[in-house]
């Protein structure tokens, strides 16, 4: 994954978290996965990839300090956690109650995280 694409993905997820117009995706995803902090979980593999590919520091992508403990746990088994995230998203995309927009975002995320896990 190239630097610009990864940077864009990180900031799109951050925008979803902080923008009321995009909130419906976050709410739908929370409902179908049962994870209140799903957007934060989705950021962890992207932060990991940013560091592993030597694209820069986490400060450059405005890493949230409250995620530090979760990120340190993630580092212990990055591939395993990323695989779990893919499985969660695959189960979520099967839910009939999803809007078309949310479904397409989830499908794109599955593709992205599946690529990261190789």
Write down the pTM of the prediction.
Answer: 0.90
Residue in the block written with tokens 């499985």: 87
Handedness of CA 97, 102, 108, 114 (dihedral sign): negative
pLDDT band, residue 50 (cuts 50/70/90):
very high
Domain positions in the chain are 3-116
Q: Is the pLDDT of residue 20 over 60?
A: no
* C-alpha to C-alpha distance for 5 and 18, rounded to whole angstroms: 20
Residue 40's pLDDT is 94
Residue 97's pLDDT is 82
Mean pLDDT of 20-45: 86
HEC states along 13-69?
Answer: HHHHHHCHHHHHHHHHHHHHHCCCCHHHHHHHHHHHHHHHCCCCCHHHHCCCHHHHH
Mean pLDDT of 23-49: 90
Residue 79's pLDDT is 94
Q: Tens digit of pLDDT for each residue in 59-85? A: 999 999 999 999 999 999 999 999 999
């Amino acid at each position: 994954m190239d630097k610009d694409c990864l940077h864009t993905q990180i900031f799109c997820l951050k925008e979803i978290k902080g923008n009321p117009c995009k909130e419906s995706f976050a709410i739908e995803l929370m409902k179908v996965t049962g994870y209140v902090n799903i957007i934060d979980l989705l950021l962890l593999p992207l932060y990991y990839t940013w560091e592993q590919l030597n694209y820069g520091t986490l400060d450059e992508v405005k890493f949230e300090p409250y995620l530090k403990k979760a990120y340190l746990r993630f580092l212990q088994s990055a591939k395993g956690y990323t695989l779990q995230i893919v499985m969660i998203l695959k189960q979520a995309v099967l839910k009939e109650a999803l809007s078309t927009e949310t479904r397409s975002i989830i499908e794109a995320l599955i593709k992205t995280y599946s690529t990261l896990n190789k």
